[in-house]
């Protein structure tokens, strides 16, 4: 019988335990955190569900900040675990206002958990997590941050902010694979989880991962790591280390700055008006009055430019310029801004495409000097 022929995608070497541990340490170094780092062998949405399942129990009170559908999911998972959840909901597609968070916290006699998304890829909002974390810590609440999208695009000082659990994903700003994710867990978070009813064995249990991997000295792999994803994550970490995380963050910030300068030169105010409240992952641009979002996207596609759709109740009101990972670069940014402007022009909206191109070029020129 002839052997099946070799296939690079199928005949992948296993990802070994020693590399698994050292990859976790390299990620911890990139994040500059002393917290434990656990890999979740699934896309980041499962990491978030695992966090909620692992910290929820009846009798707890949580504030959950909602600035995109991800916040809505987290709320549902906490409630399923018996937590009394108070949602603090932002204006559609906008970051949360700190005053709203303050008011919600002040209304509660006690607060056990506060959950918030850092940077949103869905609408370009950036939440003020430093201020929010400080408010929550002042009430001795466990702070959970969804940094799946923001890691690598915004500074994320996990330990100095005192955030207890952070979920990250490799597939956005880090430019890595989508099939695995990670969470950091502080000492305080482990103490909280230890007081939560066990539900092992479960793919959602952080405690299972702790006992099966951390507490056994990280010598025995917790389950079978998907090798394609782990080798790809290692390659992504190699690339991030080579570039430097600070430079990666700066590259995303520059892409956002240039996108926003380009929009304003077109004569259009970005969807998120305050520069400090805009994420560096995507820049959302408004769909002008009288224009259909689908038609705008289709018109930009005629120029060969892919504009992202909005989500949920803002689906018809914005389009997104994706500048995450490799797209956080001059070529992608200028293409998005000029493509959006050209499409608007074709649809009869007066915009200054030349000025927009110049503004993007100048922003980059000044940064490169």
Ligand X SMILES: *Cc1c(COP(=O)(O)O)cnc(C)c1O
Q: Which residues bind ligand X (CB under 6 A)?
A: 43-45, 70, 117, 120-121, 146, 148-149, 169, 171, 178
Residues 6+ apart with CB under 8 A from 100: 88, 90
Q: What are phi and psi of 308, to 5 degrees?
A: -80, 150
CA gap 43, 278 in Å, rounded: 25
Q: Provide the angle, in degrees to the nearest 10, between the axes of the packed helices 330-346 and 245-266.
A: 20
Helix (H) or strand (E) holding 103: helix 98-106
CA distance 53 to 193: 10
- Which residue has tokens 């569900």? 49
Closer to ligand X by CB, 120 or 234: give it.
120
Give the Cα separation of 62 and 212 in Å (integer).
29
CA distances from 41 to 144, 226, 227, 229 (A): 20, 7, 10, 9
CB of 199 to ligand X, least distance (A): 22
CB atoms within 10 A of CB 246: 9
Q: How many CA atoms lie within 13 A of 108 on its CB side?
A: 23
Residue 366 CB partners (closer than 8 Å, separation 6+) = none
- Encoding tokens for residue 320? 């997104």
Q: Are 143 and 163 in contact (CB under 8 A)?
A: yes
How many whole angstroms separate alpha carbon 17 and alpha carbon 2?
A: 33
Dihedral (CA of 179, 236, 40, 172) sign: negative
């Amino acid at each position: 019988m002839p052997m099946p022929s070799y296939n690079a995608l199928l005949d992948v070497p296993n990802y070994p335990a020693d590399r698994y541990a050292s990859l976790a340490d390299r990620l911890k170094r990139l994040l500059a955190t002393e917290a434990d780092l656990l890999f979740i062998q699934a896309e980041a949405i499962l990491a978030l569900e695992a966090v909620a399942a692992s910290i929820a129990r009846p009798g707890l009170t949580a504030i959950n900040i909602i600035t995109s559908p991800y916040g809505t999911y987290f709320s549902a998972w906490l409630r399923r675990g018996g937590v009394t959840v108070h949602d603090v909901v932002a204006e559609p597609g906008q970051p949360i206002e700190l005053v709203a968070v303050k008011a919600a916290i002040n209304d509660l006699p006690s607060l056990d958990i506060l959950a918030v998304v850092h940077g949103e890829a869905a609408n370009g909002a950036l939440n003020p997590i430093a201020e929010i974390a400080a408010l929550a810590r002042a009430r001795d609440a466990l702070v959970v941050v969804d940094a799946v999208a923001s890691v690598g695009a915004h500074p994320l000082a996990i330990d100095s902010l005192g955030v207890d659990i952070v979920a990250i994903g490799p597939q956005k700003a880090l430019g890595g694979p989508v099939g695995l994710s990670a969470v950091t867990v502080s000492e305080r978070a482990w103490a909280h989880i230890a007081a939560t009813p066990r539900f092992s064995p479960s793919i959602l249990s952080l405690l299972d991962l702790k006992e099966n991997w951390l507490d056994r000295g990280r010598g025995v792999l917790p389950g079978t790591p998907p090798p394609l994803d782990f080798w790809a994550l290692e390659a992504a970490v190699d690339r991030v280390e080579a570039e430097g995380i600070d430079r990666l963050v700066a590259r995303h910030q520059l892409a956002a700055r240039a996108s926003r300068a380009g929009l304003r030169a077109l004569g259009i105010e970005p969807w998120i008006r305050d520069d400090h409240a805009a994420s560096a992952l995507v820049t959302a641009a408004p769909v002008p009055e009288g224009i259909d979002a689908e038609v705008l996207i289709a018109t930009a596609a005629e120029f060969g430019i892919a504009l992202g759709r909005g989500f949920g109740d803002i689906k018809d009101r914005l389009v997104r310029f994706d500048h995450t990972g490799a797209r956080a670069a001059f070529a992608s940014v200028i293409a998005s801004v000029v493509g959006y402007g050209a499409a608007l022009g074709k649809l009869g909206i007066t915009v200054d495409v030349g000025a927009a191109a110049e503004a993007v070029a100048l922003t980059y020129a000044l940064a490169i000097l």
